[in-house]
Structure 1
Amino acid sequence: MTPTVTHATPAAIWAALSHVPDPEIPVVSITDMGMVRDVSVDGGRVTVTFTPTFSGCPALHVIRDSIEQAVRDLGVADVEVRSTLTPPWTTDWIGDDARERLREYGIAPPAPAEHGLIQLDAEPTRCPRCGSLNVRMTASFGPTLCKRMYVCESCREPFEGFKSV
């Protein structure tokens, strides 16, 4: 049985959440992606608020359960996980280090978002493998709504690229 910790610190909770991987991209955490918006501690109760990358994200329950488990693993018994869509998540919240890990993983990181809206025209995308801008979009939607599919005309490798939102 896990002992109940009544005074978990926000710093300890943020540290624990930094180890919760994005369920679709395991090389980055939910904090790297900027999904965790707030951590509050009120006595023995911890509330974590997060913003999903897309409102209809099929991994919402996985993210919520993973957040709750990470906090419970600290010994906290009273955990509330809230999701909010305001303000909407933007790719600008992805940390610089996470952008580099996305590139190393084979996903082109997003360009800066413009006004927080999904861009209908694909921004110039650099191949995460060879760095070429000589790429061709092959599908507007990838395995998730937040990505497009590309092929590099220089190295001939297919890759995913994040949409800027």
Structure 2
Amino acid sequence: MVTRLRPTDSAAARVWDIAAQVPDPEVPVLTIEDLGVLRDATVTAGEVSVVLTPTYSGCPAIDQMRDDVTARLHEAGYARVRVTTTLSPAWTTDWMSEDGKRKLAAYGIAPPHVRSALGDGPVRLQLSIKCPRCHSPNTREVSRFGSTACKAHYECLACLEPFDYFKPH
């Protein structure tokens, strides 16, 4: 379960709520809040500041996200807007909302499986990727990279449909 970082201060919470509605440019069914890349929102001395964490350091969508957040906040009446990115802590699929994972599946992309740490041992991943269409676990990886670097390309051997799988990290 991911702790939501929505600010408690009403001015910052309003900024967060506006930024939270920005869709992910690569998977437009998700918002940046669903994806977990929206990390902070503050208002200080008349300047609005939003912090985003890209899904990985070379994510090409982060520039579009920054532009879209800036545009939305300008449209909402904020004149001074600063959107920055941070790589620390690194983004993880654990930050995705459960609602976001449901939206991915409904959109035809298999959501990342929950990672679970076993004490001090290694992190284990569920190895069976279920088809988001027919829910069969009888699938195979076609390519480690799908339509974006965040996703792998799979094929369902039951219904024969291709699909992307959002890789956990």
TM score, norm. by length of structure 1: 0.88
2:15 aligned partner: 13
Segment drifting more, 68-77 vs 121-130: 121-130
1:59 aligned partner: 61
Q: How many angstroms does 1:64 deviate by?
A: 0.9
2:156 aligned partner: 152
Matching residue within 17, 25, 28 for 2:27: 25
Matching residue within 132, 136, 154 for 2:136: 132
Segment drifting more, 66-75 vs 82-91: 66-75
Matching residue within 74, 77, 100 for 1:75: 77
Instruction: State the alpha-carbon separation in 2 of the partners of residues 73 and 43 from structure 1.
Output: 19
For structure 1, which runs of at least 5 residues remain unmatched after alignment? 1-7
1:104 matches 2:99: no
1:5 aligned partner: none
For structure 2, which runs of at least 5 residues remain unmatched after alignment? 1-9, 118-122
1:143 aligned partner: 147
Deviations 1:118-150 (A, max 9, x none): x9x883211000111000110011111110000
Q: CA RMSD in A?
A: 1.7
Instruction: State the alpha-carbon separation in 2 of the partners of residues 114 and 145 from structure 1.
Output: 23
Q: How many angstroms does 1:114 deviate by?
A: 5.8
Residues matched between the structures, number: 154
State the secondary structure of the residue aligned to 2:72.
helix
Instruction: State the alpha-carbon separation in 1 of the partners of residues 73 and 30 from structure 2.
Output: 18
**Change beyond 3 A, Cα 1:54–1:114:** farther
Q: How many angstroms does 1:112 deviate by?
A: 2.0
State the secondary structure of the residue aligned to 1:61.
helix
Confirm or deny: 8 A CA contact 1:90 1:113 kept in the other structure.
no
Instruction: State the alpha-carbon separation in 1 of the partners of residues 28 and 62 from structure 2.
Output: 15
1:43 aligned partner: 45
TM score, norm. by length of structure 2: 0.86
Name segments (4+ residues, structure 1) moved above 3 Å: none
1:3 aligned partner: none
Instruction: State the alpha-carbon separation in 2 of the partners of residues 164 and 113 from structure 1.
Output: 8
Deviations 1:47-84 (A, max 9, x none): 10110011101122101101111111111111111100
State the secondary structure of the residue aligned to 1:31.
helix
